[in-house]
Amino acid sequence: MTKETITLTVNGQTVETRAEPRELLIHVLREQLEITGPHIGCETSHCGACTVDIDGRSVKSCTMFAIQAQGAEITTIEGLGNPDKLHVLQEKFKEHHGLQCGFCTPGMITRAHRLLKENPNPTEEEVRMGIAGNLCRCTGYQNIVKSIMAAAAELNQPETAA
Amino acid sequence: MIPGRFEYHQPDSLAAAVGLLSELGEDARVIAGGHSLIPMMKLRLAMPEHLVDLKAIDTLKHINVADGVVRIGAMTTQAELIGSAELQLAAPIVKETSLQIADPQIRYQGTIGGNVANGDPGNDMPALMQALDASFTLHGPGGARDVKARDFYEAAYFTARDDLEILTEVSFPTCTGGYAYEKQKRKIGDYATAAAAVLLTKAADGSCSHAAIALTNLADTPVFCDAASTHLMQSGVSADSIAHAVQSCISDIEPVEDNRGPAEFKKHAAAIILKRSLETAWSRA
Ligand SMILES: Cc1cc2nc3c(=O)[nH]c(=O)nc-3n(C[C@H](O)[C@H](O)[C@H](O)COP(=O)(O)OP(=O)(O)OC[C@H]3O[C@@H](n4cnc5c(N)ncnc54)[C@H](O)[C@@H]3O)c2cc1C
Ligand code: FES
Ligand code: FES
């Protein structure tokens, strides 16, 4: 079956690639576009390590064909921050030990980013429900929740009026 | 986990989608949110040669409430159901049920049409639709027809929908009486060990003017508990009538042993969530 041309905007850059319709978005991101932040944990829609943001929704990119994302705006962990300028969530995960091995972290933070956009001032319960689709084998979640709450608090600080 | 090869189609109108299905015949499948279909394709339990994606058909995305009837387009996502203030007023049980489905990521993608058309006994929407006495509108080459949710499910993955038909809309009367959707599951993101959708309306004199009970994942189809519903309407709601209704529902189900437990355990769990959901619904009636 022939490859199709797929145009995506990934982390603000428009990219074109070719893929068979059966190729999953996570594989196209990692193998063709070399965006390896989103991880493959389970490949069965359970763990959330592959979470990316597509047109303002958190999506498990192992459960979407790349061709379904034709024309979409995609944000991955690479688009949120970088080693020189960490995103607030990355800062807070670092500060509050929100990660151990770090395998779940890109998906966790990408999900938390959307959660805080939709609900800037969540309760602890809402954070827990909001990240229910992301599994972590290491931390026991306690520090992940703390990190997200701390990021929310920081983001909610009133900015000094310009 | 690489699915088999297929050709991808993205029609932008319902007529074009129905036309494609007729033309491609049984080698084609519709894809909505893909969150039941893609996992099946990865396991190669489904190997369609053509996928007809409904995502570009805007007429399948709406939530309308008018003249006492709720109409929801098939491509409305579970997240959109949860976020709709209008729906929360017209039928709050829809949000309560939707929040019990899977996890946030899956609810952004999964659609009401896919959930009710899929035919998996583990899906939560079918029992809800039976309790609400919903109708499903199907569009095929011969035109449109409506099928009642209570008549739609024949066996696991077998429904009254013809392969060439697209489910376009779900509709049901507004429902503002007492309600509850209770689900026993092993963890978030799991299908039900047992779940119950209950609607109870209290009349001005305290009697029960309307009752509807339907169950998820306790047989190879959703189960509408007609006798128990009728009993509550005839005898009113009391500890005795609830106990009687629970027993009646249990005699309607045929759970099978699987990784969620043996059949006897599922009956036990079903009895507990049924009692709980009947009490909750009546307390809200
Ligand atoms: C990890 C995980 C956990 C889940 N947990 C739950 C849960 O607890 N409860 C629950 O109810 N669901 C659960 N689901 C399933 C999820 O809700 C699905 O999204 C839903 O069952 C199907 O909706 P969809 O839009 O994704 O449909 P798709 O996967 O696209 O389609 C499903 C089937 O329906 C057909 N179809 C879809 N739309 C139409 C239409 N409009 N007309 C005709 N045929 C159509 C397709 O051809 C296919 O056969 C879970 C899924 C995952 C991956
Ligand atoms: S890799 Fe996608 S959910 Fe686990
Ligand atoms: S830090 Fe290791 S899986 Fe979460």
How is chain B split into domains, by residue range?
7-53, 62-173, 178-284
Quick one: average pLDDT of A28-50?
98
- Name the class of domain B7-53: alpha beta
Q: What band does A157 get if pLDDT is binned at 50, 70 and 90? A: confident
User: What pLDDT was estimated at residue A69?
Assistant: 98
User: What pLDDT was estimated at residue A160?
Assistant: 55
- How far apart (Å, rounded) are the C-alpha atoms in residues B65 and B52? 29
What share of chain B in percent tops pLDDT 90? Answer: 98
- The answer to whether the CB of A62 is under 6 A from ligand 2 is yes
User: What pLDDT was estimated at residue B51?
Assistant: 98
- The answer to whether the CB of A66 is under 6 A from ligand 2 is no
User: What pLDDT was estimated at residue B160?
Assistant: 98
User: What pLDDT was estimated at residue B12?
Assistant: 97
Which candidate in B103, B185, B188 is best for mutational testing of the A interface (most A CBs within 10 A)?
B103
User: What pLDDT was estimated at residue A158?
Assistant: 78
pLDDT at B11 over 60: yes
Closest Cβ opposite residue A45 in set B10, B35, B53: B35
- How far apart (Å, rounded) are the C-alpha atoms in residues A98 and B195? 35
Closest Cβ opposite residue B188 in set A20, A115, A132: A132
User: What pLDDT was estimated at residue B1?
Assistant: 82
Q: Which chain B residues are Cβ-neighbours of A4 within 8 angstroms?
A: 8
Closest Cβ opposite residue A21 in set B8, B34, B108: B8
Ligand 3 centroid to Cα of residue A152, in Å, is 21
Ligand 1, atom nearest to B32 Cα = 30
pLDDT digits (tens, 9 = 90+) for B74-93: 999 999 999 999 999 999 99
User: What pLDDT was estimated at residue A1?
Assistant: 64
* Distance set, CA B169 to CA A40, A98, A124, B64 (Å): 35, 44, 37, 11
Quick one: average pLDDT of B175-181?
95
User: What pLDDT was estimated at residue B262?
Assistant: 98
B176 or B161: which leads in pLDDT: B161
Pairwise CB contact (< 8 Å): B38 & A64: yes
pLDDT digits (tens, 9 = 90+) for B194-249: 999 999 999 999 999 999 999 999 999 999 999 999 999 999 999 999 999 999 99
B7-53 and B62-173, same CATH topology:
no
Asked if ipTM goes beyond 0.90, one says yes
Pairwise CB contact (< 8 Å): A59 & B105: yes
* Distance set, CA B125 to CA B97, B213, B281 (Å): 7, 13, 18
Strand order in the sheet with B50-53: B7-9, B50-53, B28-31
Averaged pLDDT score across all residues of chain B: 97
Q: Which chain A residues are Cβ-neighbours of B30 within 8 angstroms?
A: none
Ligand 3 centroid to Cα of residue B42, in Å, is 25
| Domains observed in chain A | 4-79 (3.10.20.30), 88-155 (1.10.150.120)
Pairwise CB contact (< 8 Å): B5 & A1: yes
pLDDT at A162 over 50: no
- Of the residues A104, A134, A143, which should be mutated to test ligand 3's pocket, given the most ligand atoms within 8 Å of the CB? A104
**A60 at the B interface (CB within 8 A)?**
yes
Which candidate in A45, A108, A127 is best for mutational testing of the B interface (most B CBs within 10 A)?
A45
B117 Cβ neighbours under 8 A, 6+ residues apart? B30, B32, B74, B136, B159, B161, B167
- Name the class of domain B62-173: alpha beta
B256 Rama class: left (phi>0) / alpha (psi -120 to 50) / beta: beta
A155, two tokens: 């983001």
Cβ pairs A/B, distance under 8 A = 80
- How far apart (Å, rounded) are the C-alpha atoms in residues B15 and B11? 9
**A129 at the B interface (CB within 8 A)?**
yes
pLDDT at B159 over 70: yes
What share of chain B in percent tops pLDDT 70? Answer: 100
Quick one: average pLDDT of A108-124?
98
- How far apart (Å, rounded) are the C-alpha atoms in residues A39 and A32? 14
pLDDT at A95 over 80: yes
Classified by CATH at the fold level, domain B178-284 comes out as Enolase-like; domain 1 (3.30.390)
